[in-house]
Every structure is written in structure tokens, then in C-alpha cells.
Structure 1
Amino acid sequence: MTRTAVIAGVGPGLGESLARTFAAEGCRVALFARTESVIEELAADLPEPGEGLAVPTDLSDVDEIRAGFATVREEFGPVDVLVNHASAASWQGLLDLDVEEFERAWAVGGRGAFVCSKEAVGDMVESGGGTVIFTGATSAVRSLGGTIGFAAAKFAARGMAMDIAQEYGPEGVHVAHVVIDGQIDGPGTREQHPDRSGDTFLDPDEMAETYWHLVEQDNIDTMPFEVHITNGPQNTEFL
């Protein structure tokens, strides 16, 4: 079965690993991100038998998201898989965070995921099923204090994932939420954290395999909702 997958929020690290893994499994992969050069290069370099499509999209802009999905349908057909992977960094506490930054975090991680899900699930219901995966974080289930914008957006996304799962699971739409409990290894990560050993970082390629395993479960009656990815008790810094 050839699936059409949208990865909403692609950059170096896990987003790139998701694209490569899904393509290697035969998916037509649409890459949504603001940085056009990054996704165009990645789309051209995806492994066979997959196919890539770069769709420059600001995931805080409702009209751009809708236009992006229209482009995907025109090129690849209806969407079978969506990964809501985008988030906006917002690392300040209540008294330091301004309204504009709070709203930006919510616009990307909350409203953006809502619009993407609405577009994709509409296709899935018509075609008889599909998979929606939300990339979460520790802050989606346990606030750390001092990151109110990020936590609010991640809590919102988890709540939406749960609600969509309950509403559309009976129609064959598998919705899952992945809690990333650790620091993802990627370009510059180790330089930014010189005090940490290499085995405390999460391998994005291995994480992408977990996401794909969720996609492969889209045709079973009993579906897992939440997966918690961590690298063990040695991990002391959480996102």
C-alpha cells in the first residue's frame, strides 16, 4: 500500500528522520516548513521507493496550511498519514513571556495542529482510515515551570489528539501522541550540551522507527494512543 504522508514541521533532526524513514517504507512524503531551501533539498534526497514534495508553509498561517494540503492532494492525492510535528520555542515564565510570543507558540503547536488535523482527517474519513501522530514532549503531561507558552501549546495538542482519537477511532482513524522525554540528537546538539555524555541523547532515526510502527497499526481494532520515548533514568534534562 502506497501512503501519502504529510510531515508538518520539518527540520534537521527528527523531522528529517521521519521523512527519510517514511519514504524508505514507500510513502509519498510532503514536507511542510517555512524554510524552503531545507525542505526542497530533503525532498530531492529522500530514499527510494518513496517520493518527496516540498511545500513551503508557515504553520501559524491558516490559509497557508489549507493551500499546502490542496497542493498535496493535487500532486499525491488524499492524505493517509499526518505527523503534527511543529512547535515554537517559548521558554519563559508567566511574568517574562509577552502575549505575542505566547500566541505564537499556540498558533503553531495548537491552532496549526488543529487545522492540519482537520484537513487530513477529512481525507481519512472519506477513504476509510489513516493515521495522525502528534509529537509531544514531557511538558505535554507534566509542566516543568517557567515554560508556560510551550507547555500550554503541548497540553493543547495532547488534548486535541485524545479528542480526535475518541471521535474518529471508530471510523478507522488511528490517532497517537508521542511523548518525547529527552534531548534529541541533531546538528549542534552536542556542542550546545558539552557537559552531557553521548548516551543521554535520543537517536532520531530510532525514534522515527517508533512513529512508523504506529502507522503500520492503522488497520487493527485495538490501537495504542500514547507512546513515551526516553533513554532511561540517566536523562535529567527534559523537554
Structure 2
Amino acid sequence: MPKALIIGAGDGLSASLARLLAREGYAVALAARNVAKLDALVAETEAVAHACDAASEPDIARLFDAEGDAEVVVYNPSFRTRGPIADLVPADVQKSLQVCAFGAFLAAQQAARRMIPRRAGTILLTGASAGVKGYPRSAPFAMGKFALRGLAQSLARELHPQGVHVAHIVIDGGIRSARRPESGDDTLLDPDAIAETYLQLIRQPRSAWSWEIEVRPWVETF
């Protein structure tokens, strides 16, 4: 049974992805700071849950010691702090960079160390609109997501020739959720539909690998 590790699991996109991969025959492992919130998802998907701070080097090392043979690794965490540049709290800005970018480096490094000898594996990094266009009053998130995109591009160029597929997914639009319900005209991204795109990336033949793909609602401007 192939294994998939989803870091930054919650009740949105990562939950949709966990359900889909479980249906497709993957043994799913979930990592989050608060694993209690994953109880229902764990029961539904028969996943294993790990408590993990994505920006902590020791936590990520322990996670990969337990789940390092995963064929698929998805990095999904984000931390956003907003406000005028003059008023931003430096510690919050640092946390945004650590969660959005440094944690992705830690996870990708651990995954690469295990996938390169096998010459196989997939690393998927979840990006955002902020990774390709910086918005006002959102400098920290743009900094973190721009860094994540640079990491993905660099890793793809390094690891693709070694048999490891790296892809960055730009989520360009709002995602439907209980807190953000759909109005009925598909103006929000369906998390189940995004998960299908991740699965397509996992299954891409290596003769036509993508390093980046954007997904957005049909009404989203860009």
C-alpha cells in the first residue's frame, strides 16, 4: 500500500486530499499542531495522526523518522498576519516566514533524503495568490509564499532529474468551507476539486511533469 504524508492537516483542502488518497488506496498520515481536531478525519480515513510544529526542525525530523517512507509528501501549512508595514509585529512576520517557507524547506529536505536513493516520490507544496502577486497590507504572507515558490522551482530543477517530482500549486482564489459557503455559482474553489488536481500531479508521467500549476474559479481575475 503506498503511503502519503500530509503536513498541516485540517478540515479544508488537506481533509479533502486525505479522503481522496484514502479512497485511492493510500495509507494516509496526517501532521498538525493540534491532532485532537483530526479525530473525525482519522476515523473516516483510517489515517495516523502526528502532533507536529511544521516550523520545528526536531518535530519534522521525528515526523519523518516515523513516516519517511511515504511516496507522497504534501506541505500545506500557512500563517498569515496582516496590517500596514509600519505597524506589523516583527515576531508575527518571522512566524509567517517560518511556517510558510522554512517549514517547507525542512519537510522537503527530509523527503528528498529518502526519495533520492529510491529515485521516486512526489513532493507537493501548497501555494497561494500571494506567491505570485503581493497585496497591500499583506507583506508577510507574500514574503513567505514567494519564498515557497522559489523553493519549489529550485527543488524541481534539482530533483526532477533524480526521479523526484516536485510541484507548487497556486491556489488563486477563496476555498469553499463551512466558514465561507458557496453561493451556488462556483465563485469559490471546491476543496474536493483541488484535491483531484493534486492526484493528477501525483499520477503525471515523468515525460511530462509540471513543476507548477494554478487553480482558480472560472470568475477569478488574474
TM-score when normalising by structure 1:
0.88
Q: CA deviation at 1:197?
A: 6.0
- Please list the CA deviations of residues 2-50 of structure 1 after superposition, one character each: whole Å capped at 9, or x if unmatched: 321111111111110011111111111110111111223312211xxxx
Partner amino acid, structure 2, of 1:53: V
Conservation of the 8 A alpha-carbon contact between 1:137 and 1:179:
yes
Q: Unaligned regions of 5+ residues in structure 1, if any? A: none
How many residues are matched?
Answer: 222
Q: 2:54 aligns with which of 40, 43, 59?
A: 59
Distance 1:220 1:166 in 2: 13
In structure 2, the partner of 1:150 is 141
- Please list the CA deviations of residues 32-91 of structure 1 after superposition, one character each: whole Å capped at 9, or x if unmatched: 111111223312211xxxx41101111121111111111224xxxx12111111101222
Q: 2:87 aligns with which of 78, 96, 100?
A: 96
Distance 1:94 1:22 in 2: 40
Q: CA RMSD in A?
A: 1.7
Conservation of the 8 A alpha-carbon contact between 1:32 and 1:39:
no
Are 1:222 and 2:217 matched, yes or no? no
3-state SS of paired residue (1:110): helix
Distance 1:136 1:15 in 2: 13
Q: CA deviation at 1:93?
A: 3.2
Conservation of the 8 A alpha-carbon contact between 1:91 and 1:149:
yes
Q: CA deviation at 1:222?
A: 2.4
Distance 1:124 1:147 in 2: 35
Distance 1:198 1:62 in 2: 43
Are 1:130 and 2:129 matched, yes or no? no
Q: 1:86 aligns with which of 74, 77, 80?
A: 77
Distance 1:198 1:32 in 2: 33
3-state SS of paired residue (1:184): coil
Conservation of the 8 A alpha-carbon contact between 1:40 and 1:53:
no
Conservation of the 8 A alpha-carbon contact between 1:12 and 1:187:
no
Q: Unaligned regions of 5+ residues in structure 2, if any? A: none
3-state SS of paired residue (1:90): coil
Distance 1:210 1:174 in 2: 15
User: What pairs with 1:66-215 in structure 2 (closer than 5 Å)?
Assistant: 66-73=61-68, 78-190=69-181, 198-215=185-202
In structure 2, the partner of 1:231 is 217
3-state SS of paired residue (2:166): strand
Distance 1:140 1:37 in 2: 30
Distance 1:227 1:66 in 2: 28
Distance 1:26 1:169 in 2: 25
Conservation of the 8 A alpha-carbon contact between 1:91 and 1:148:
yes
User: Given the superposition, is the C-alpha separation of residues 34 and 95 from structure 1 closer, same or farther in structure 2, using an over 3 Å criterion?
Assistant: same
TM-score when normalising by structure 2:
0.94
Conservation of the 8 A alpha-carbon contact between 1:92 and 1:149:
no
Distance 1:3 1:198 in 2: 37
Give structure 1 regions of 4+ aligned residues with deviation exceeding 2 angstroms: 196-199
Conservation of the 8 A alpha-carbon contact between 1:14 and 1:204:
yes
Partner amino acid, structure 1, of 2:202: V
